[in-house]
Amino acid sequence: MQTIVEDVREGNGAAIAQAAEILRAGEIVAFPTETVYGLGASGLDGDACAKIYEAKGRPSDNPLILHVADWHMLKEVAREVPPMAEKLMIAFMPGPLTLILPRSAAVPDRVTGGQDTVGVRMPENPVARSLIRVAGIPIAAPSANLSGRPSPTTAAAVLRDMEGRIPMILNGGPCRYGVESTIVDCTGDVATILRPGAITLEDIRDLLGDCRLDPGLREGKAAPKAPGMKYRHYAPKAPMTVFVGEEGAVEEAIAAEAKKIETAGRSVGLLGSRELLLKLSDVVPSACSQSYGPRGDLETNASRLYSCLLAFDGLPVDAILAEGVEEEGLGLAILNRLKKASGGHVVHV
């Protein structure tokens, strides 16, 4: 299969119309959102959604998110919309937020992993919204990468994983946020975050008065109610260890571990803030380091994270040592992705 890449950064309605026709025909298309690039299929066509799992090598019990254009389309796929969900929609949609709602009969089991709930989001990216409107259907779309790999934030990263696997990629330029949407379960008495993202725990608590973090974020034992809860995600090829704690202690621990690895004849990659890379430039060469930006600049850190992880696949490193961030605000999402990418290999110092 030949994969066509169409540039839609300055419009290109013909390309969007072509992509919409591909979706209506039961095939899959990669497209930009404000979070990461999505791998889309008709969300009401179980056979089309099965092609997403095939292209990604994705476990069939890992549910998909439906992307909708408006309130009317959302009500087609949700059996009901609880009051807390309405408040969240008014405050944060369109935007990087996914709501877990009771599914309607129109949603196939392929989308939900056989569960009675469905994840729905309304992207703010103009290309994504235009594609949904022109197609006239909800679009089921996980991230447009091979399962378990870092999510793509550029069309080039999509092509690296999906060339020859899908017919079309819409190139809308780099994604704004760089981490996937916040997923909030609205089916219980209290809003519960299943996956942290750019809409933070603090944002939701300010709006609703209460919000919880699902224990599955740490345990990973139950059947996943949302993407990213059960399986290793976002991982570079080399094994990674994440260090969290006070800045000085983290720097010392990473330096000591790097020297230990190098003494054993293995090469080290370093992922972290600009400040950390400067501090340890005599321990890990810059050619084997990736900076996710200034320390504390969480928006920049999030937007650069996946591109840094992907970059390590082109570097001669046997192990990656990563600097964690504080688990507050957007930092909760960043550290969640780092933990997932490391397979839970986290050192607290």
Domains of the chain with bracketed CATH: 4-219 (3.90.870.10), 240-348 (3.40.50.11030)
CB neighbourhood size of 232 (10 A): 15
- pLDDT cut 70: percent of the chain above it: 94
Q: Looking at residue 321, what DSSP letter applies?
A: E
Task: Count the alpha carbons within 13 Å of 24 in the hemisphere toward its beta carbon.
Answer: 13
Which has the higher per-residue pLDDT, 180 or 57?
Answer: 180
pLDDT at 62: 80
List the beta bridge partners of residue 98: 121, 183
Q: Does residue 223 have a pLDDT over 50?
A: no
Contact (CB, 8 A) for 261 and 236: no
Alpha helices in the chain (DSSP H): 13-24, 46-56, 71-77, 83-92, 109-112, 126-135, 155-162, 201-208, 216-219, 247-263, 274-279, 298-311, 331-341
CA dist., res. 201 & res. 196, Å (int): 8
Which amino acid belongs to residue 177? Y
- The mean per-residue pLDDT over the stretch 98-126 comes to 95
- The mean per-residue pLDDT over the stretch 72-100 comes to 97
Tell me how far CA of residue 250 lies from CA of 11, 246, 256, 285, 308, in angstroms.
46, 6, 10, 18, 19
Q: Does residue 157 have a pLDDT over 80?
A: yes
pLDDT at 227: 59
Place 221 in a pLDDT band, splitting at 50, 70 and 90: very low
CA dist., res. 99 & res. 69, Å (int): 14
Residue 162: which residues within 8 A CB-CB, separation 6 or more? 3, 30, 39, 55, 144, 145, 146, 169
Q: Does residue 60 have a pLDDT over 70?
A: no
pLDDT at 148: 84
Q: Does residue 224 have a pLDDT over 60?
A: no
CA dist., res. 168 & res. 257, Å (int): 43
Q: Looking at residue 152, what DSSP letter applies?
A: P
Residue 246: which residues within 8 A CB-CB, separation 6 or more? 349
pLDDT at 86: 97
Place 220 in a pLDDT band, splitting at 50, 70 and 90: very low
CA dist., res. 115 & res. 307, Å (int): 33
Write down the mean pLDDT value for the chain.
93
Q: Does residue 30 have a pLDDT over 80?
A: yes
pLDDT at 181: 97
Contact (CB, 8 A) for 148 and 231: yes
Which amino acid belongs to residue 97? L
Q: Does residue 119 have a pLDDT over 70?
A: yes
Place 146 in a pLDDT band, splitting at 50, 70 and 90: very high
Which has the higher per-residue pLDDT, 149 or 74?
Answer: 74
Stated pTM of the model: 0.93
